[in-house]
Amino acid sequence: MSHPSLVFALVQDSRGTQHPVQFAVRVDLESGEIWDIANNTGVIGWLELDNWKNAGEEYPLVMRWEIERAGDALIPRLQIGDEEWLYPSVFFSGDAPFAALSGHDVEGLGHREVFSPGYVWAQDRISRS
């Protein structure tokens, strides 16, 4: 069995929004390439393939978006395992709910056989002097 490609996204609820904010990547576990699929800007990074097991072994792969807000800018970072990549920032004013989405291209396996449930949470980081 070859390594699959995984899709991992964080998407704004688009009701009433013409251009919803979205952060989305396709991770090719065969080549290690990480593609920006929300903006079509191409490869944004590579996984260090020496850190990954062979295709026949099952192991957890933690994928996480961390979004920092600076004024009206959202500055996203993608984390896969212990590695981190910057992703294109976007203008965003106001508040809106986001949803985490995931997908794969493994034939014959359901979504729940590949992914654990996705979660979205917000945390205010207010420093007090």
DSSP 61-94: --EEEEEEEETTEEEEEEEETTEEEE---EE--S
User: How many residues in the chain?
Assistant: 129
In a domain, 123, yes or no: no
Type of residue found at 47: L
Q: In 3-state terms, what secondary structure has residue 103? A: strand
Count of the separate structural domains present in the chain: 1
Q: pLDDT digits over 53-76, tens only?
A: 555 666 677 888 888 888 888 888
In a domain, 12, yes or no: yes
In a domain, 63, yes or no: yes
Q: Which domain holds residue 79?
A: 5-114
In a domain, 122, yes or no: no
pTM of the full structure? 0.75
In a domain, 57, yes or no: yes
CA–CA–CA angle 83, 28, 53 (5° rounding): 65
- In 3D space, the residue among 81, 90, 72, 108 whose CA is nearest the CA of residue 8 turns out to be 81
Determine the pLDDT at residue 121: 63
Q: pLDDT digits over 69-111, tens only?
A: 888 888 889 988 888 998 888 888 777 778 888 888 877 777 6
Decide: 11 and 99 in contact? Cβ < 8 Å.
yes
